[in-house]
Structure 1
């Protein structure tokens, strides 16, 4: 994992943050847009999105703590610390305010950034994870069995072993909707970091503390009194195997000034890989609407 993949127009740097050396891929010039990747991916998730957004934006794609080419320290895989990493990165880059595009665990951090640092975010396009105001509906129980891998990954010992094996990360990246969304080289770029014990442990801790931790926070009503002022669009892949109809994904109406939810046809969980055109189009429309 020493060699970075090449994408035209993309440059790379390492930001020295408190307790973390973070890798950042950048492209383009103009208003800054921050892209936060999901699991088990890294900045390369945005390879099909960067060219479209970089035409008139400065695109900033960090590797989150423990992912890609960023360092994988022994600790810090909590919502609070990983959010602090993102804020520290913006400060290190002298970026006061961004438009935000996020996926999966990146969306958990993205919503946290909007809620706790609203002055830093102009708009937010999220996918691969719902908003934090969702309420329990019995229909949700029908898809829980499809998320069996979450407990596996989160279990100390078992999770790191399963990630190092490569089979589980490959399973997570499988897309029956768009089987050609990734080349073999793309898949290897996402799977390879997990073979490193430190990164496999990081992935397990992230799942345990941030992803499943967010489920716990929502179920305990942690966002009951929260208010979202950031203009937000949440996308769901219409063919996501763990997806639910939009009518079961409400709960935000009294908590958000401007939040819309839409389905993306021809996509499952990995919308940026499966329908990058939809991500670029939705992002551009959102950025323009708040301008």
Structure 2
């Protein structure tokens, strides 16, 4: 347990009165969960280590590498060019586990826990996406790669964009899933789902309202944004965000959105030239991801993932792995036909 987690744990020894569960916030959350969630996924693996051989598939290992702000946890397997995977909120590297073995046939797959989340150290600051991208790049370089292909979902896609923009000669291809870019459409979502402004609220507002007992209710609502909720390993993520310090790290990524938007707008003239795959779920963003990234990139290839909501890598893993193998130039697709945009 990190020093930050120990501090947060001590502060939670005397929880606030439980009458707060009768507040309007908890009532709304409970109603939303009833509407949008189903039974938890069966594929729960709480026994994955943080170092050494992985258990979810042969040939993968867990490790940690020191970067600015503290050590970053990663899971690595395969051989060949580096394919770096960056997860979204409220998830961890585990969101990629269904597609990692297939992509490791032709790549060195590196799935990273974002700083502050999963099993990575919790930085004292620097949750803006440009700073986070620099930390991820440090990890990639220390793992022996000066060039990489990037695959990011949600929050991870925002970080992957900053990585590609700030180090364009080091990123050969970029795939972004299920988010518009800050400063170029992300803000339009704030009125659609209240979790944006809740997470962005200054400390300690969300920290005080959301205590340990509320995690399953709140994150359960978030996983309701899936089209096939039974495919999402929500129990893994409930455990990953059980720590108050981890939840605060997640809020800090959201609190940095205004700074991210300003940074992206100020640097929009530095348009990306590498191929960019922009994928949205059929029942979520659809082509909206591509519409956003066309404002900052030259070669944007829109793809709509069928039979998926927000959590595409878990809801339709076969489609994502087949499309990614084509786009990243790694081999022939599987039996499922792919859009032309997936091709190299």
For residue 257 of structure 1, what is the aligned residue in structure 2?
298
Alignment deviations for residues 141-190 of structure 1 (CA, whole Å, 9 cap, x no partner):
6x6543211111122223234274212122112245112112xxx21211
Counterpart selection for 2:155 from 105, 109, 112: 105
Correspondences of 1:237-256 after superposition (within 5 Å): 237-240=281-284, 243=285, 246=288, 249=291, 252=294, 255-256=296-297
Counterpart selection for 1:173 from 200, 210, 223: 223
For residue 7 of structure 1, what is the aligned residue in structure 2?
56
For residue 239 of structure 2, what is the aligned residue in structure 1?
192
Deviation at 1:8, TM superposition (A): 1.1
User: What is the TM-score with the length of structure 1 in the denominator?
Assistant: 0.85
Instruction: State the alpha-carbon separation in 2 of the partners of residues 163 and 66 from structure 1.
Output: 18
Counterpart selection for 1:90 from 125, 140, 151: 140
Give unpaired runs (5+ residues) of structure 1.
none
8 Å contact from structure 1 (residues 134, 250) kept in 2 = yes
Where does structure 1 differ by over 6 angstroms across 4 or more consecutive aligned residues? none
1:50 lines up with 2:100 in the alignment: yes
For residue 277 of structure 1, what is the aligned residue in structure 2?
318
Query: What is the count of residue pairs matched by the alignment?
Result: 278
User: What is the TM-score with the length of structure 2 in the denominator?
Assistant: 0.73
Correspondences of 1:227-238 after superposition (within 5 Å): 227-238=271-282
Structural RMSD (CA): 2.7
SS in 1 for 2:66: strand
**Which is further off, 158-167 or 168-177?**
158-167
Deviation at 1:78, TM superposition (A): 1.8
Deviation at 1:250, TM superposition (A): 5.6
Instruction: State the alpha-carbon separation in 1 of the partners of residues 302 and 91 from structure 2.
Output: 24
SS in 1 for 2:304: strand
Instruction: State the alpha-carbon separation in 1 of the partners of residues 262 and 120 from structure 2.
Output: 27
Instruction: State the alpha-carbon separation in 2 of the partners of residues 83 and 57 from structure 1.
Output: 21
1:154 lines up with 2:197 in the alignment: no
Give unpaired runs (5+ residues) of structure 2.
2-45, 50-54, 330-341
- Structure with max Cα Rg: 2
